[in-house]
Amino acid sequence: MVQSKAAMYGVLAVVEVTKRQQTSSNGVQAHDIAKTFSLPVAYCAKVMSQLARAGIFQSGRGPRGGFKLQRQPEQITLLDIVSVVNGQIAPKDSMDKSEAADPIIKSMNVAMHRAFDLLRQELQRVTIADLLKDQAATPAPAPAAQMN
């Protein structure tokens, strides 16, 4: 599934590391990301480690260690992140030969492949830099009126 918890954790982690790198040269710890978004620490660390193995983050040990971006935010797409944590985005082909010969099933498979192609294209189009621009352009919600 494309919109999984792992994909969401991955996107949140990359966005937060990007923000923090703008003000500090220190690496960002997985437990800090988990705390910021109230995520399970072990799961967040697992996702961030996957992103490091894929070359989105670099990771280091020590007092200034942690995770840092290995590429610029303009070069990291949602497809990069989702593919790392969820695997390839493609419909499952689990039909036997008799089902594959059915014209309705063939048509359905063609439609599913087109849909997944469109999804991949959209995820490839949106970068982390785009998400940060969108966030900056969205006004913060007005504070709720206090009751006396």
Quickly tell me which residue has 């949106």 as its tokens.
126
SS3 59: strand
Q: pLDDT tens for residues 63-92?
A: 677 999 999 999 999 999 999 998 887 777
Q: What share of the chain is helix, strand, coil (3-state, %, to 5)?
A: 60, 5, 35
Q: Name 120's Cβ contacts closer than 8 Å, sequence gap at least 6.
A: 79, 89
Q: How far apart, in whole angstroms, are the C-alpha atoms of residue 28 and residue 65?
A: 7
Spatial separation of the C-alpha atoms in residues 148 and 145, rounded to whole Å: 10
pLDDT at 99: 67
* Per-residue pLDDT reduced to its tens digit, 81-129: 999 998 887 777 656 666 667 888 888 888 888 998 999 999 999 999 9
CA 13 to CA 22: how far, in whole Å?
14
Condensed to tens digits (0 to 9), the pLDDT of residues 17-35 reads: 999 998 988 899 999 999 9
> Which tokens belong to 94?
């689990």
Residue-by-residue DSSP string for 91-140:
------HHHHT-HHHHHHHHHHHHHHHHHHHHHHH-BHHHHHHHHHHSPP
Please report how many Cα atoms fall inside a 13 Å half-sphere around the Cα of residue 141, on the Cβ side. Answer: 3
Is 3.40.50.300 the CATH classification of the domain at 5-88+127-137? Answer: no
- Bridge-based pairing state of the strands 57-60 and 66-69: antiparallel
Q: What is the pLDDT of residues 35-52, one digit of tens each?
A: 999 999 999 999 999 999
